[in-house]
């Protein structure tokens, strides 16, 4: 046998007998000289003199199969022993400041003092591999993956992830049983006169308990991918997520008495996905299936009324909310494309069908045992309901055809049609009425109505798009586009809506020192008549619902202008900037949103001063403004002609800068970055009826992040990183000032509200860390 | 001419481009055991074309396909080697996609000579995307956001930059379905629906970052009053002067204007399954 070098660089031993066999393998040819015109999809294996000179020719796949078939197994490749590589890191840190703050730790863990990182790969060169990674090991936000397989054949992967979401630390609650389905007052229940609510809440507040409100997601995923039968490929994914904890929530009893409580979260979500693909030019096919099952292990939440010990009409002792129902979803999709049509045309088509199903048990109308239905049944008894289950189902379907073409060298064309249907087949249930906030049994008041029923909403959208692109001159293109979209709805105020979108853009890289793009887009939305009475069909003559004015279903003109440029004034300097103007104009709307406008300006610069020194800066200015008009009822003066206007403005400045320096090349690096985000919000009001109070402090935030690290490569294997992170967050809002848990007026009167303190809080933290990494 | 001629082998390329060769060898593209990779074919020349002319001319310009984003090579030619193999999965809908139409080359975002995940040109996916999407870069610093800054989410968890059938390159059949993947509790369908949830989560939420809690597009209750603008308590002005009412602003605002505003009572804002949940309070 002689040693033969494959084009990939691999060396194999081949005997003359094996060469004879190889010549007979499908797709393998023995030639004397390489073709003069070059080779595109095949490889050449030069044979040494001992094997008769010449070249074996074939596609890489055929060659690989042929080598296997004739038993060229004793290759260098298979004799190469497996190798381990990777890195292991340990980080120790000291944290100072409000490191237990929910805002500071919203999605991360700052409190664990020591944690690890890991990445280890075992590889039998070009054959098998196994890779294990761990990130933030030991922290509340840790992540692990393990992946293994055979290159080009299959891959199996497993992962585990933890993610926290913290809402509040040390929130004050007047209930015990947080996280369960039943919240009991921390103190005896009482029937409290309306005027004594402030005293009652203050007494409960004195006995309040401190709780952290947070969620934790734990997710396990498994996937398997088979590529051994390429161009046929398969992938299967399984996922299971458990979400556990509490979330800020409210329980209210009518227009007053809103008590902040915790919502128990105990969710399991299971997902299954299968994808089969066939891709061999000019064809592509895809078949996919997706299944998602959501299970809520806590069906309802019941909480005590702080002001009532016994049930009475209009005065429930408890409230009950039906929490998110179990549901499941199936989706099947098919896709295909063909790319060898005339005029460099490619066509692709997609179809997808989905089913959302929810059939949870219905809970009784109320917990209030003093209430009866119109037929005299106990409204807190589930047997008084006309149905036991929801029986809700939505079917979705999507069809899309896309055609792209380059009919002329200087011209591109695209045409697309898409149809989406959301068909809500949920059962309409005729209820004799409903119980408003566990207070009163309310019966239908629409003319002639005998029941109140749900109105399942369905809609479909048909979208047709045509784009044409032209090469105007060297490296400069003009793109023109037109889209027509029609939306039709059932059980909604607007049956039919038409959107026409006109767009144009010029892209140019004509100058060697700059690229730029300028684009304009106008959307014209026209609606059919606005049907104010659609909700009467549900049996209720609620004043506010029939007359609401949806800005998403209103005549509108939308303008978008964008300019982007990247300039290379000097070789080591890159400057890029953008300007965006957007305006949604609802001039024909009598009420609701009238205008939504924004200007955004960004500027970014990179300067590579040398191979060892880089600077980076970033600035953005954002201005958002919107106006709305609402019908003018005001508290205590409901009949005054007092249409009111509001103007909301947000001014946002963001600054960033950084420097990366190789202080000692290949040894010592310095990396410093700083960012600052400043948000100033303002709300102004105008009405002829009463004096208004503007709010100058609306979600005003300041966030500083300074991240510095010094990395020292002590040797080929060891790296030491010393770092410091400083973060400071300030939040101010008119909503938060002037009270802690019980908002009172100047006379000490309460509106019955008890607040736990779950809005964002200021924080400042310093983290100093030392990370030691061993690489092998 | 580029793309024609005789192959010289990757080791020949290495003689001049050792740095690029070394980085390429650390990339999946160099894995020879996978017959789909350049490593199993002509190595460097699988993407850059046969190198004989380039070697003979001692690196003369125009004798080899240069793929870096600043090169003069036309975009379609830069993308040809990539799209020759990457025809399925996430890339199946590249042709006609937003980024394809904008004239982006694969090498604008990917660099197989880097060790970064998925051959990105920057250390993280977020850094790659925010090179152009600068508004989103600023939005990620807002008070309310997804855990992108912490690296627990990345752009491709919601988007497929290579093309999708949904708008905004959302990696799903329509945008709500993408939201429901993580927020399956909102999916329903509910007995009593809140119409914007049925049609588009983005009617009320902005996904990349907001100064408002819960990624809301506007301050409550004024966000709700964009639609609930006409008659009854939902449309009442929640900004009456405290001097006018003789009460502190919080009490004057009743339950409706302060703190979480409408959500103080209408807690089941995404829909309710309670027989008495018509007003989304139960």
Supply the DSSP symbol for B65. -
pLDDT(A530) > 90 = no
Asked if A438 contacts A253 with a C-beta cutoff of 8 angstroms, the reply is yes
Distance from CA of A275 to the nearest CA of B (A): 9
pLDDT in tens, B222-232: 999 999 887 67
CB contact under 8 A, A7 and B43: yes
DSSP string computed for A521-558? EEEEEEE--B-TTGGGGGT---STTTT---GGGS-EEE
Chain A environment of B195 (Cβ under 8 Å): 457, 492, 550
Asked if B58 reaches chain A (Cβ–Cβ under 8 Å), the answer is no
A390 vs chain B: nearest CA distance in angstroms?
A: 6
State residue B130 phi and psi, 5-degree precision: -75, -5
- Whose structure tokens read 């093309």? B163
Residues of B in contact with A107 (CB under 8 A): 147, 149-150, 152
Give tens-digit pLDDT for A425-460: 999 999 999 999 999 999 998 888 889 999 999 999
Chain B positions touching A394 (Cβ under 8 A) are 188-189
How many separate helices (H) and strands (E) can be counted in chain A?
Answer: 4, 39
Strand-by-strand arrangement of the A55-58 sheet:
A29-31, A55-58, A43-46
Residue pLDDT, tens place only, B88-105: 999 999 998 999 988 899
**pLDDT given at position A38:** 55
In A, which residues are within 8 Å of B275 by CB distance? 362-365, 385, 429, 431, 434
Of A354 and B21, more confident: A354
Phi, psi of A656, deg, nearest 5: -145, 150
- Looking at the predicted structure, is the pLDDT value of residue B246 above 50? no
Give percent of chain A above pLDDT 70.
94
Residues A410-424: pLDDT tens digits?
999 999 999 999 999
SS3 for B258? coil
B81 contacts chain A (CB < 8 A) = no
Q: What is the greatest pairwise CA distance in chain B? A: 91
Of the pLDDT bands very low, low, confident and very high (cuts 50, 70, 90), residue B11 is: confident
* Chain B environment of A492 (Cβ under 8 Å): 195
Residue A638 has pLDDT above 70, yes or no: no
**Dihedral over alpha carbons B1, B6, B10, B11 (to 10 degrees):** -120
The whole-number pLDDT of residue A545 equals 65
pLDDT band at B249 (very low <50, low <70, confident <90, very high): very low
Structure confidence at residue B40 (pLDDT): 83
- Distance, in Å, from the CA atom of A516 to the CA atom of A512, rounded to the nearest integer, reads 11
Q: Quick check: B226 and A575 in contact, CB under 8 A?
A: no
Residue A518 in contact with residue A562, Cβ under 8 Å? yes
What residues are paired with A93 via a beta bridge?
A769
**Distance (Å, whole) CA A600 – CA B1:** 46
**Cβ pair A266, A297 in contact under 8 A:** yes
CA distance B55 to B17: 12
How far apart (Å, rounded) are the C-alpha atoms in residues B261 and A67? 72
Task: Look at residues A189, A150, A465, A414 and name the one whose alpha carbon lies nearest to residue A318.
Answer: A189
The per-residue pLDDT for range A699-755, each reduced to its tens digit, is 999 999 999 999 999 999 999 999 999 999 999 988 777 677 888 776 777 878 899
DSSP string, B204-218: TB-SS-BSSGGGBSS
Packed helices A16-23 and A60-69: angle between N→C axes, nearest 10 degrees: 130
3-state secondary structure (DSSP) of residue B182: helix
The answer to whether the CB atoms of A630 and B227 lie below 8 A apart is no
Q: What's the rounded mean pLDDT across residues A627-637?
A: 71
- Does the pLDDT value for residue A521 go beyond 80? yes
Please choose, from the candidates A161, A51, A28, the residue with its C-alpha nearest in 3D space to the C-alpha of residue B153: A161
pLDDT of residue B6: 80
- What would the pLDDT profile of A663-693 be if each residue is shown by its tens digit? 999 999 999 999 999 999 999 988 776 677 7
Looking at A43-57, A465-479, A617-631, A632-646, which range is the least confident one? A632-646
Which has the minimum average pLDDT: A22-26, A136-140, A498-502? A22-26
Closest CA to B103 of A408, A341, A506: A506
What is the predicted pLDDT for the residue at B241? 52
The reply to whether residue B138 touches residue A327, judged by beta carbons under 8 angstroms, is: no
Contacts of B143 in chain A (CB under 8 A): 679, 699, 701, 703, 729, 731, 760
Tokens 């219905």 — which residue? A362
Q: Which of A33-47, A154-168, A693-707 is predicted least confidently?
A: A33-47
Average pLDDT of A624-649?
Answer: 76
**CB pair distance less than 8 Å for B273 and A322:** yes
- B3 pLDDT more than 90: no
Chain B (104-123) residues lying within 8 Å, Cβ to Cβ, of chain A: none
Q: What is the per-residue pLDDT for A8? A: 67
DSSP code of residue A695: B
Q: What is the pLDDT of residue A36?
A: 61
What are the residues whose beta carbons fall under 8 Å from the beta carbon of A655, sequence distance 6 or more?
A: A618, A619, A674, A675, A676
Q: What is the distance between the alpha carbons of residues B217 and B198, in angstroms, rounded to a whole number? A: 17
Which pLDDT score is estimated for B261? 87
Could you tell me which residues are beta bridge partners of residue A705? A675, A727
Q: In this predicted structure, what is the pLDDT of residue B1?
A: 39
| Interface probe with A: pick from B90, B185, B245, most Cβ of A within 10 Å | B185
Is the confidence at residue A62, as pLDDT, over 60? yes
Please say whether the beta carbons of B145 and B153 come within 8 A.
no
Q: How many Å lie between the alpha carbon of A522 and the closest alpha carbon of chain B?
A: 17
B31 vs A151, A163, A548: nearest CB: A151
Give CA–CA dist B4/A36, Å, rounded. Answer: 10
pLDDT at B2 exceeding the cut of 60? no
Spatial neighbors of B265 by CB under 8 A, at least 6 apart, are A250, A252, A255, A258, A437, B255, B256, B281
- Determine whether the interchain pair B248/A745 forms a contact, defined as Cβ–Cβ distance below 8 Å: yes
Residue with the bigger pLDDT between A718 and A694: it is A718
Residue B250 has pLDDT above 80, yes or no: no
**Helix (H/G/I), strand (E/B), else coil: B203:** helix
Mean pLDDT computed over every residue of chain A: 91
Q: Identify which of A38, A64, A693 has the shortest CB distance to residue B241.
A: A693
Nearest CA in chain B to A280: B87
State the pLDDT confidence band at A40, using cuts at 50, 70 and 90. low
Each residue's pLDDT tens digit, A270-307: 999 999 999 998 999 999 999 999 999 999 999 999 99
Q: What is the DSSP letter of B157?
A: G
Q: Are the C-beta atoms of residues A753 and A258 closer than 8 Å to each other? A: yes
First-residue to last-residue Cα distance in chain B: 72
CA atoms within 13 A on the CB side of A755: 23
Q: Which residue on chain A is closest to B33 by alpha carbon?
A: A126
**Closest residue to A745, CB basis, from B138, B230, B247:** B247
Looking at chain B, the whole-number percentage of residues with pLDDT higher than 90 is: 52
Residue A623, phi then psi, degrees to nearest 5: -130, 120
Span A606-615, average pLDDT: 94
Q: Is the separation of the CB atoms in A136 and A109 below 8 Å?
A: yes
Q: What is the DSSP letter of A426?
A: P
Task: Note the pLDDT of residue A41.
Answer: 64
Q: Do A735 and B246 touch (CB under 8 A)?
A: no
DSSP state at residue B120: B
**Per-residue pLDDT at A364 exceeds 50:** yes
Sign of CA dihedral B243, B246, B247, B252: negative
Candidates A429, A591, A743; nearest CB to B258: A743
Which tokens belong to A37? 């015109």
Q: Which residues contact B279 (CB under 8 A, 6 or more apart)?
A: A436, B266
Phi and psi of A306, rounded to 5°? -65, -15
- Contact of B168 with chain A, judged by CB distance below 8 Å, is answered with no
Q: Which of the two residues, A203 and B114, has the higher pLDDT score? A: A203
- What is the pLDDT averaged over residues A569-594? 92
Cα–Cα distance, A42 to A53 (Å, whole number): 19
What pLDDT does residue A570 have? 86
CA distances from A440 to A444, A450, A536 (A): 13, 18, 21
Cβ-Cβ contacts under 8 Å, B242 against chain A: 693
Determine whether the interchain pair A250/B264 forms a contact, defined as Cβ–Cβ distance below 8 Å.
yes
Mean pLDDT, rounded, for A483-493 = 95
CB atoms within 10 A of CB A277: 21
Q: What is the token pair recorded at A158? A: 């497993």
Residue of B nearest to A487 (CA): B199
As to burial, measured by CB atoms within 10 angstroms (0-12 exposed, 13-18 middle, 19+ buried), residue A666 is exposed
Looking at residue A79, what is its pLDDT? 47
pLDDT for position A81: 67
Token representation of residue A136: 């933030």
Q: What is the ipTM of this complex?
A: 0.93
The number of angstroms, rounded, from the C-alpha of A602 to the middle of its chain's C-alpha atoms is: 24
Is B275–A107 a contact, with Cβ atoms under 8 angstroms apart? Answer: no
Residues A565-577: tens digit of each pLDDT = 999 988 889 999 9
Instruction: Please give the span between the terminal C-alpha atoms of chain A, in angstroms, as a whole number.
Output: 37
Alpha carbon of residue B32 to chain centroid: 32
d(CA B250, CA A741): 12
Specify the 3-state DSSP secondary structure of A160.
Answer: strand
Of A92, A410, A437, A399, nearest in space to A259 by CA:
A437
Nearest-Cα distance to chain B for A393, in Å, is 6
Q: Give the CA radius of gyration of chain A.
A: 34
């Amino acid at each position: 046998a002689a040693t033969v070098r494959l084009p990939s660089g691999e060396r194999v031993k081949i005997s003359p007998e094996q060469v004879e066999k190889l010549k007979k393998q499908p797709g393998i040819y023995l030639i004397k000289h390489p073709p003069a015109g070059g080779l595109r999809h095949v490889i050449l294996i030069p044979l040494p003199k001992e094997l008769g000179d010449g070249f074996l020719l074939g596609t890489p796949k055929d060659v690989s199969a042929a080598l296997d078939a004739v038993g060229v197994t004793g290759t260098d490749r298979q004799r190469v022993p497996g190798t381990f590589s990777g890195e292991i890191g340990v980080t120790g840190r000291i944290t100072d400041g409000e490191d237990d703050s929910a805002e500071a730790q919203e999605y991360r863990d700052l409190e664990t003092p020591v944690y690890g990182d890991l990445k280890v790969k075992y590889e039998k060169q070009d054959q098998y591999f196994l890779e294990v990674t761990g990130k933030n090991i030991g922290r509340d936000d840790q992540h692990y993956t393990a992946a293994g397989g055979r290159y080009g054949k299959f891959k199996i992967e497993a992962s585990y992830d933890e993610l926290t979401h913290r809402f509040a630390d040390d929130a004050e609650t007047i209930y015990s049983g947080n996280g369960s389905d039943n919240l009991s007052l921390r103190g005896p229940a009482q029937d409290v006169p309306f005027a004594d609510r402030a005293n009652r809440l203050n007494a409960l507040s004195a006995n309040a308990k401190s709780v952290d409100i947070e969620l934790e997601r734990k997710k396990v995923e498994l996937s398997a991918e088979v590529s051994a039968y390429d161009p046929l490929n398969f992938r299967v994914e399984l996922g299971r997520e458990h979400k556990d904890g509490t979330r800020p929530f409210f329980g209210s009893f009518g227009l007053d008495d809103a008590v902040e409580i915790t919502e128990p979260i105990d969710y399991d979500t299971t997902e299954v996905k299968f994808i089969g693909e066939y891709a061999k030019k000019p064809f592509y096919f895809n078949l996919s299936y997706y299944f998602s099952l959501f299970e809520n292990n806590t069906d309802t939440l019941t909480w005590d009324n702080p002001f009532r010990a016994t049930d009475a009409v209009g005065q429930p002792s408890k409230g009950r909310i039906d929490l998110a129902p179990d549901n499941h979803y199936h989706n099947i999709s098919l896709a295909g494309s063909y790319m060898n049509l005339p005029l460099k045309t490619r066509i692709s088509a997609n179809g997808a069908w989905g089913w959302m199903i929810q059939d949870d048990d219905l809970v009784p109308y109320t917990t209030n045992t003093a209430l009866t239905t119109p037929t005299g049944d106990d409204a807190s008894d589930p047997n008084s309901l006309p149905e036991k289950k929801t029986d809700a189902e939505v079917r979705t379907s999507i069809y899309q055809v896309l055609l792209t073409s380059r009919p002329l060298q200087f011209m591109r064309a695209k045409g697309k049609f898409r149809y989406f249907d959301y068909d809500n087949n949920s059962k309409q249930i005729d209820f004799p009425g409903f119980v408003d906030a566990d207070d009163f049994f309310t019966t239908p008041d629409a003319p002639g109505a005998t029941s109140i029923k749900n109105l399942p909403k369905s809609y479909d959208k048909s979208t047709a798009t045509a784009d044409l692109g032209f090469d105007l001159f060297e490296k400069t293109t003009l793109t023109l586009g037109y889209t027509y979209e029609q939306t039709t709805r059932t059980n909604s105020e607007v049956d039919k809506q038409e959107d026409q979108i006109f767009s144009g853009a010029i892209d140019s890289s004509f100058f060697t020192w700059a690229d730029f793009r300028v684009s304009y887009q106008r959307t014209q939305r026209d609606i059919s008549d606005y049907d104010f009475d659609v909700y009467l069909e549900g049996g209720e003559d609620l004043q506010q619902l029939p007359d609401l004015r949806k800005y998403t279903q209103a005549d509108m003109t939308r303008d978008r202008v964008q300019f982007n440029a990247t300039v290379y004034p000097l070789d080591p300097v890159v400057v890029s900037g953008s300007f965006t103007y957007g305006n949604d104009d609802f001039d024909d709307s009598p009420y609701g949103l009238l205008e939504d406008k924004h200007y955004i300006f960004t500027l970014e610069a990179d300067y590579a001063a040398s191979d060892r020194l880089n600077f980076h800066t970033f600035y953005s200015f954002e201005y958002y403004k919107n106006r709305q008009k609402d019908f003018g009822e005001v508290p205590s003066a409901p009949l005054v002609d007092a249409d009111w206007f509001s103007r909301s403005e947000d001014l946002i400045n963001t600054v960033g800068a950084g420097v990366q320096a190789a202080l000692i090349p290949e040894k010592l690096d310095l990396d410093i970055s700083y960012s600052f985000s400043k948000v100033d919000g303002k709300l102004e009001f105008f009405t002829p009826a009463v004096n208004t109070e503007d709010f100058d402090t609306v979600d005003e935030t300041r966030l500083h992040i300074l991240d510095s690290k010094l990395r020292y490569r002590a040797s080929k294997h060891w790296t030491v990183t010393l770092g410091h992170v400083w973060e400071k967050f300030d939040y101010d809002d008119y909503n938060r000032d002037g009270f802690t848990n019980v908002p009172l007026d100047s006379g000490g009167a309460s509106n019955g509200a008890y607040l736990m303190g779950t809005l964002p809080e200021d924080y400042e933290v310093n983290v100093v860390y030392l990370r030691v990494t061993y690489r092998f | 001419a580029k793309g024609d001629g005789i192959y010289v082998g990757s080791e020949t390329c290495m003689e001049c481009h050792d740095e690029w060769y070394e980085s390429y060898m650390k990339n999946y593209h160099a894995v020879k055991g996978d017959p789909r990779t350049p490593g199993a074919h002509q190595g460097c020349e699988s993407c850059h074309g046969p190198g004989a002319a380039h070697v003979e001319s001692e690196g003369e310009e125009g004798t080899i396909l240069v793929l870096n984003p600043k090169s003069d090579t036309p975009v379609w030619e830069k993308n040809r080697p990539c799209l020759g193999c990457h025809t399925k999965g996430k890339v199946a809908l590249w042709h006609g996609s937003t980024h394809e139409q904008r004239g982006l080359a694969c090498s604008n975002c990917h660099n197989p000579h880097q060790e970064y995940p998925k051959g990105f040109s920057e250390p993280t996916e977020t850094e790659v995307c925010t090179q152009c999407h600068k508004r989103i870069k600023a939005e990620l610093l807002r008070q309310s956001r997804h855990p992108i800054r912490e690296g627990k989410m990345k752009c491709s968890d919601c988007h497929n930059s290579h093309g999708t059938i949904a708008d905004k390159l959302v990696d799903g059949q329509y945008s709500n379905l993408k939201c429901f993947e993580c927020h399956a509790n909102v999916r329903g369908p509910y007995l009593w629906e809140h119409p914007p949830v049925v049609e588009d989560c983005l009617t009320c939420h902005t996904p990349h970052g907001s100064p408002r809690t819960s990624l809301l597009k506007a301050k409550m209750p004024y966000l709700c009053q964009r639609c609930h603008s006409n008659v009854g308590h939902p449309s009442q002005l929640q900004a009456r002067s405290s001097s006018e009412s003789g009460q502190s602003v919080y009490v004057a605002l009743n339950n409706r204007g302060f703190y979480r505003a409408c959500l103080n009572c209408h807690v089941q804002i995404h829909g309710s399954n309670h027989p008495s949940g018509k007003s989304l309070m139960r």
